[in-house]
Structure 1
Amino acid sequence: MLNKTGQFKDYIVYGSGQVFNLVAPFIIAPYVIAVSGMENWGRIGIALSVFTLLGIFIDFGSQLIGVKELSINKGNTAKIKAQLDEVYTFRAIAFIVITVLLLGALLVLDLDYRLYLCGVAMLFSQFLNPLWIYQAFEEFTVINRIIILSKAIYLITVYVFVKDTDTYQYMLLCYGGANAAIYGFFLAKLYAKYHLSLFNVPVSRLVDNFRKEFPIVVSNFSISVYTYGPILIVGELSGEYVAGIYHVGDMLLKIIRSYLSVFFNVSFPKFCSAFNADKEKGLNFLKTINKYHLGLLAFGLFMAYVIVLLLLERVSISKELHEGIVYGVKFLGIGFIIALNIPFYQLLIYYNKQKSVSVISVLGAIVMFMSCYLLTRAFSIDGSITSLYIVEVFITVSIIIVCYKKVFSGGLRLQNLEGNK
């Protein structure tokens, strides 16, 4: 039997740390916009999207498959060491390859080379990132320390080094550098504990790992494409100033995504452990936790909508920031649509249906590009948010349908998910 008090405590502990992830952008955004302008804020938003997409290839499948493998092998030091050796050897190779390709692109493409050179720090921090390990071990207090320390350094360095339109590029360096410093410290502790050995992994294991995780990488990349791709399209069709407005609005959606990330990251290892021990109890856990989650989320989104609009009438902020926030509240409904697919997504990952998830994600990315391009071109920034709703509905419906066909029809009974009758 899963300890409900312990579960609730984990959500609170992990969620409290994520508050710093949510607050930091809202502290930094007004300052950076004021000193560098909305146009440069748009450039930053576009670059952040690019490096987020590149970071997927460094993460590879560790955020899902890696968490699953570690969570079901707790206490088995040999398997944990083998998994960590594989992941970080692969990450090191991916980081080197992506960095070289990026530097080559800067020589050919007409890009803000200082901005993108500063962004290499983000790639390096992604290589070091140990959060997924502590997530698998459910050590959420440690995760909080990492988040709080990295965000504190990030905030301080932005205010120290970003002073005007000539220094806005340093924001990416501050972000990546702060994460790299803290990630590196905590990874070093794990390195010593498990006696990790990079580049001492057989090539055959790396190839097998690549084949196993490639579908989920395609899936994650596609998800990131339809999540971060719209700002690239907005910037191309409507200009960097409008992209800046979109970036401000998108920060509100990131609050919801961060919340959903907390829920997913805490519940997924617990679900894997419970489901691995007893299928029926695992399904009941999934059903119960998601029932309460959806109810709280619906209430929270409604209150957020009301509170944001009330605050805007009472707080004195710049016209540009006001415009971005007004636009951003239109994102709120997307969060509930995304939340509907979480339990089905977790089941598909547990049953290694990565290829099915990958196909859905690729189709979602295609739908995003087509709908966002056409609607943004016709209706500007309002068209882009409409395309997001279209994509998320498509993704959620597809995941639910595939889960019914691939999982339930394969032996799991639907009534188990709905509880014992």
Structure 2
Amino acid sequence: MSKSIFKNAIYKTLLNLFNLVIPLIIGPYVVRVIGTELMGRISYTESINMYFAIFAGLGIYQYGIREISRIRDDKKKVNQLFTSLFLLGVIANLIVTPAYLIYINIYFKGAPAFPVMVIYAFNTALTAFYVEWMNEALEDYDFITIKTIIVRSIFIISTLLLIKNQQDFYKYVILNSVTLFLNYSISFARIKRKVKFDFSNLTFTKHLKSLIFIVILSNANTLYTILDKIMLGNHVSENAVSYYTYPQLVNSIVNNLLLSIVLVTVPRLSNLLGNNDEKQYENLLNKICKTYLAFLFPAAIGIFILAKEILILYGGGTQLVASTNVLRIFAAYMITAGFESILTNQVMYVKRKERILVVFILTFGLVNVVFKQILVRTGALTPETAIATTTLANFLLITTEYLYINLKLKIKFSILDFGKLKYLLYSLAFIPISYVISLVFKGFFSYIMLVVLVNGLYYFLVLYITKDEILFTFLSKFMRKKS
């Protein structure tokens, strides 16, 4: 392996850090200019569009990363597999995009969200050219990072120059689609310079079974947070969707940043299994999990403590403060989502257990549907109860996955040992520390800075004193770079 996992993680982290900064720059501005109701309309439309995008993508992204990673040392096989998967994506897109247009014309014509849905049909059509999975399978994370930073920078500048008031709402929607087109087209052009179309051994039926399971898997995942937004839009209001969406966005920004540690290892884990190196796979898996949890637990507890302050900063005022408890619950959801990502992506998926994974995710997705129906019938559906019940469903899911992995797959992997859970115990001390700070310092920015600095210093010292393996690994990497 010529590419370092550490370097890949650095590039992925840099990318996600940039994606973290973007909402902090653009989010408050767009909320002030366009308003929470119209932003809720965009979020609601995206939720509808997502269902069709799943079918248009046909699960090729996830499947392509796994399968290309296993054969990436054989250029001819890579070319042949890429050609087959790309053509399957085009065929799926030619079916799904017209279906999406028919659907919105039947059910949403005349609705306020209809024009946005028409524009988003372009996004669905673009799915055929979304070949970033090839770049990830080849571990080309430096290109992905640089390209995305440039494209998103253009988006930021264009938004600040063109979006001035509520009348520019549709300009903002179109700008999002144009940015997507630019991002996809650059990646496609890059891949075509490295991989050639090879029609000599086209195979469709061989891949369809796994792809269908992945599509079902993706649809099952929509029974979680995407379902929440649709239910809130249908049974509460667009504002309720907005109050749910912004905490979700904060959660996803931070979680995606942390998942840089995990997701860049999928190609490497798949490659190890492709070479039948089970021992190396288990060693890397446990190290990945421990590293991830060392960052996940303090981040989640930090979000819980600073929920109100984060939303004030993000919203540029107090208009999002009503979402404070939603964000606090999302902090708990983030922990369950982190465990679920490891169990799903790093274990069951790379082990080609997507069939049983579909059963698990679909089962507890349906449990979540039942939870939501109970909330609707009792009049208790709110952004808070929506994410709380989704968190519960996710907890039941990861419990089932974990039991299956240990009892059925018999992988030497634990998420319950002290070596991993100690990071949660250390992080829980942030709560009393922050409470003491709040009693002494009343200033908004001084409180935030002290909470971050004092808790960060405490966490570092605890890891240093206990000679934590993860901390010293990072320190050694850093010192090696300096020298």
Amino acid aligned to 2:133: W
Aligned counterparts, 1:275-290, within 5 A: 275-277=273-275, 278-290=277-289
- With over 3 angstroms needed to count, the CA separation of the structure-2 counterparts of 1:312 and 1:165, relative to structure 1, is closer
Deviation at 1:202, TM superposition (A): 7.4
Distance 1:308 1:405, change over 3 A: same
1:126 alignment counterpart: 127
After superposing the two structures, state which structure 1 stretch, 106-115 or 316-325, moved more. 316-325
Q: Is the CA contact 1:125–1:177 (under 8 Å) kept in the aligned structure 2?
A: no
- Residues 117-166 of structure 1, C-alpha deviation per residue, up to 9 Å, x if partnerless? 21123223432222211111111111102221221232233334444434
**What are the ranges of 5 or more consecutive residues in structure 1 without an aligned counterpart?**
none
Equivalent-residue separation in structure 1 for 2:388 and 2:23 (angstroms): 24
Give the C-alpha shift of residue 89 in structure 1.
Answer: 0.9
Superposition deviation, residue 219 in structure 1: 0.7
Residue 296 of structure 2 is aligned to residue 294 of structure 1: no
The residue number in structure 2 matching 1:190 is 191
* Partner SS for 1:263: helix
Is the contact between residue 24 and residue 314 of structure 2 (CA under 8 Å) also seen in structure 1? no
What one-letter code is carried by the residue in structure 2 that aligns with 1:44? Answer: I
Q: Which moved more, 1:178-187 or 1:312-321?
A: 312-321
Mapping for residues 133-282 of structure 1, pairs under 5 Å: 133-196=134-197, 205-277=203-275, 278-282=277-281
Superposed CA offset, 1:77-119 (max 9, x none): 1111112112211111222212101211232123433201211
Based on CA coordinates, which of the two structures has the bigger radius of gyration? 2
Cα pair 2:68 2:78 within 8 Å, conserved: yes
2:353 is the counterpart of 1:373: no
What is the distance in 2 between the residues matched to 1:311 and 1:136? 35
Greater RCO, 1 or 2 (C-alpha within 8 Å, sep 6+): 1
Unmatched 5+ residue regions in structure 2?
420-483
Give the aligned partner of residue 398 of structure 2.
Answer: 396
Taking the aligned partners of 1:63 and 1:304, their CA distance within structure 2 comes to: 30
Q: Is the CA contact 2:135–2:191 (under 8 Å) kept in the aligned structure 1?
A: no
The amino acid across from 1:337 in the alignment is: T
1:279 shift after superposition: 0.7
Q: What is residue 80 of structure 2 aligned with on the other side?
A: 82
- Check whether the contact 1:121–1:177 (CA below 8 A) recurs between aligned residues: no
Per the alignment, residue 358 of structure 1 pairs with 358
Tell me which amino acid in the other structure corresponds to 1:403.
I
Q: Identify if the C-alpha distance between structure 1 residues 81 and 360 changes in structure 2 by more than 3 Å, giving closer, same or farther.
A: same
Q: Which residue of 1 aligns with 2:321?
A: 322
Farther off after superposition, 243-252 or 119-128: 119-128
1:320 counterpart SS class: coil
Per-residue deviation, residues 361-400 of structure 1 (Å, max 9, x unmatched) = 2112212222123235314222112112112102211211
Q: Deviations over 1:39-73 (max 9, x none)?
A: 11111111122222322223223232211111121
User: In the alignment, residue 9 of structure 1 is paired with which amino acid?
Assistant: K
Of 355, 379, 382, the match for 2:384: 382
1:307-326 Cα deviation digits (max 9, x unpaired): 44456678983332232355
Indicate the residue corresponding to 1:38 in structure 2. Answer: 36
3-state DSSP of counterpart to 2:352: coil
Pick from 45, 51, 54 the counterpart of residue 52 of structure 2. Answer: 54
CA-to-aligned-CA distance 1:157-207 (integer Å, 9 cap, x gap): 33344444344234332222212123212312322432226xx5878x223
2-side partners of 1:310 and 1:173: how far apart?
31
CA distance in 1 between counterparts of 2:129 and 2:279 reads 37
Kindly tell me: are residues 168 and 138 of structure 1, through their superposed partners in 2, closer, same or farther at Cα, counting changes over 3 Å? same
| Aligned twin of 1:73 | 71
Query: Hey, what's the Cα distance between the residues in 1 that align with 2:312 and 2:93?
Result: 46
**What is the TM-score of this pair, normalised by structure 2?**
0.77
Identity of aligned residues (%): 18
| Closer, same or farther: CA 261–94 of 1 in aligned 2, 3 Å | farther
TM-score for the superposition, normalised by structure 1: 0.88
Q: Distance in 2 between matches of 1:129 and 1:163?
A: 31
Q: CA deviation at 1:413?
A: 5.7
Quote how far apart the aligned CAs of 1:285 are: 1.0
Distance in 2, matches of 1:314 and 1:397, equals: 35
Query: Could you tell me which residue of structure 1 aligns to residue 6 of structure 2?
Result: 8
**CA 1:124 to 1:176, structure 2 compared with 1: closer, same or farther past 3 Å?**
farther
Task: Work out the CA distance in 2 between the residues paired with 1:260 and 1:363.
Answer: 27
How many residue pairs get matched?
410
Question: Which residue does 2:424 correspond to in 1?
Answer: none
Shift of 1:280: 0.8
Q: 1:217 to 1:316 in 2, by over 3 A?
A: closer
Residue 427 of structure 2: aligned partner: none
Query: In the superposition, relative to structure 1, how do residues 39 and 344 fare at CA in structure 2: closer, same or farther (>3 Å)?
Result: closer
Matches of 2:408 and 2:280, distance apart in 1? 20
347-356 vs 29-38, which deviates more? 29-38
Do the aligned partners of 2:31 and 2:315 also contact (CA within 8 Å) in 1? no
